[in-house]
Structure 1
Amino acid sequence: MSARPLVFLVAACLAGGAAAQDLDHACRVASTYDLTVRPDALLFEREGVAPHAVRMHDGSLATDGRAVGLRPDEQDRVALFEARVRALVPKAKAIATDGVDVAARAVRDEALSAAPDAVASGDFDRVLNARVADIKRRIAASQSTRDWQEDAMRAYAQEIVSDIAPVLTQDVGGQAMQMALNGDLQGAAALRDRVASVTTGGQARVVAKLRSSLEPRVRALCPSLRELEDLQSGLRDASGQPLRLLEPSE
């Protein structure tokens, strides 16, 4: 089972699941659970290995629907664990939201170098800003790591590409056609290649800007993740086995 980041949205701010793995390596803490932060509880869920569901709320703990008997000091640990996770959520969301802005600026820079006329028309910014606003709304509303795993991030990225590509190709297509009619076939091909690079080769440059801008803030969450790992120490599930919501990663 692949490791998922405990604090959701961290993957988003570093452009997807591969970057989330980088965070796992940097912090040396990972989780095999999906986390849902509900108003009434924290819910950790996974397939394959039991316990499949772990519920925490106000010092209580249940695994796979069975309440776990806790000493007073263990109740305090569970309550503090929940409080620490909830405190991390707005921090992670703030980084993710800023990450969307960084990515949008980087994408715009790529488009500006490839098709300045398309950007100057205002259509590109209108389409890009609408998609950015939509993703920010999803971040604000999200309660689960499932929204920000690698497949989901790829889908969100594809939505952006699907939105902006027609704007670029429509503008550049006309220019390339005119160049071709004037006999400049090489120039027409080069123009189309520059636009194609925004949705292909430009991805690496966008991710690089995200990393340089946001990775220090993401790494700053590592001490909080390690604190959570310490807080779970000694806790057991309803079957008496050690509870491993977080595990050391290589």
Structure 2
Amino acid sequence: MTARLTAFVLAFCFAGGAAAQDLDHSCRIASSYDLTVRPDALLFERPEVAPRTVRMHDGSLSTDGRDVSLRPDEQDRVALFERSVRALLPKAKALASDGVDIAAQAVRDEAATAAPGAAASGDLDRALNARVADIKRRIAASQSTRDWQEDAMRAYAQEIVSDITPILTEDVGGEAMQLAMNGDLQGAAALRDRVASVSSGGQARVMTRVENALRPRVQALCPSIRQLLDLQSGLRDASGNPLLLLESGE
């Protein structure tokens, strides 16, 4: 089963692989669903295995388009489940936004080593600030975990790295050429290698830094996630099968 803890906290993806594994190992909970937090409902979706869609709103529950008959106490649990997920949304977005800031600072540090001239010129900061603002707008507007999972966050990190690579290349190009003209081919190659290292390995190093910084905050979500597992207990889908939006690994 694909582990998609972000389907319930909208957070794991912005923290990346290690943090997601922390949730998997510490909370011992996983999910195969993606989640869209809509104004009128929570919508859980997965491509395979019924139920493929689960909808929750104000104490009502439907699976694959069929309403589920609920007792009053079950209606209360469904309503609390929805409220709990919605309460996690601003916390998750704050984590994601902080993760982008950490990633940007990590890129600045990488750039300062590879091309200190570019870092000092202001061009680097302008490019980074524009990209960070764009990603934060996308995070603020997003209501789906498809935009928050690990692959998405790695893509965001790659966007940041890609933005600055031309600036670094331009900065060291003239210096490398001057060294080469003076016969220092090794020095010229070393300059170019530093920039290439930011482009090729920078994304992985940036993501590692984000993961390490956010890990304690991601792990702190475990009690809230476990509460969702408890609220789900005993609920069934429209076919009478146990509803397993979350599954315990214990």
Letter of the aligned partner of 1:11 in structure 2? Answer: F
In structure 2, what is the equivalent of residue 82 of structure 1? Answer: 82
- Once the two structures are TM-superposed, the CA of residue 8 in structure 1 deviates from its matched residue by 4.8
In structure 2, what is the equivalent of residue 194 of structure 1? Answer: 194
In structure 2, what is the equivalent of residue 146 of structure 1? Answer: 146
Which deviations, in whole Å up to 9, do the C-alpha atoms of 1:208-249 show, x marking residues without a partner?
322332111111001000000000000000000000000013
Q: Does 1:91 align with 2:86?
A: no
TM-score normalized by the length of structure 1: 0.94
Letter of the aligned partner of 1:173 in structure 2? Answer: G
Give yes or no for contact 1:9–1:148 (8 Å, CA) kept in 2: yes
In structure 1, what is the equivalent of residue 106 of structure 2? Answer: 106
Matches of 1:221 and 1:125, distance apart in 2: 33
Give RMSD over aligned pairs: 1.5
Alignment of 1:144-223 (within 5 A): 144-223=144-223
Matches of 2:207 and 2:116, distance apart in 1: 22
Give yes or no for contact 2:14–2:149 (8 Å, CA) kept in 1: no
Letter of the aligned partner of 2:11 in structure 1? Answer: V
Letter of the aligned partner of 2:44 in structure 1? Answer: F
Matches of 1:8 and 1:121, distance apart in 2: 40
In structure 2, what is the equivalent of residue 47 of structure 1? Answer: 47
Give the SS at the match of 2:56.
strand
Give yes or no for contact 1:118–1:171 (8 Å, CA) kept in 2: yes
Which deviations, in whole Å up to 9, do the C-alpha atoms of 1:85-106 show, x marking residues without a partner?
0000000110111111111111
- Once the two structures are TM-superposed, the CA of residue 152 in structure 1 deviates from its matched residue by 2.3
- Once the two structures are TM-superposed, the CA of residue 201 in structure 1 deviates from its matched residue by 3.0
Q: Does 1:24 align with 2:31?
A: no
Give yes or no for contact 1:96–1:139 (8 Å, CA) kept in 2: yes
- Once the two structures are TM-superposed, the CA of residue 17 in structure 1 deviates from its matched residue by 4.6
Give yes or no for contact 1:44–1:54 (8 Å, CA) kept in 2: yes
Give the SS at the match of 2:108.
helix
Give the SS at the match of 2:97.
helix
Q: Percent identity?
A: 77
Which deviations, in whole Å up to 9, do the C-alpha atoms of 1:122-149 show, x marking residues without a partner?
1111011100001100110000011122
Going from structure 1 to structure 2, the CA distance change for 1:172 and 1:8 (only over 3 Å counts) comes to farther
> In terms of mean alpha carbon deviation, does 175-184 or 191-200 score higher?
191-200
Q: Which runs of 5+ in 2 are unaligned?
A: none
Matches of 2:80 and 2:10, distance apart in 1: 21
In structure 2, what is the equivalent of residue 11 of structure 1? Answer: 12
Give yes or no for contact 1:8–1:144 (8 Å, CA) kept in 2: no
Letter of the aligned partner of 2:12 in structure 1? Answer: A
TM-score normalized by the length of structure 2: 0.94
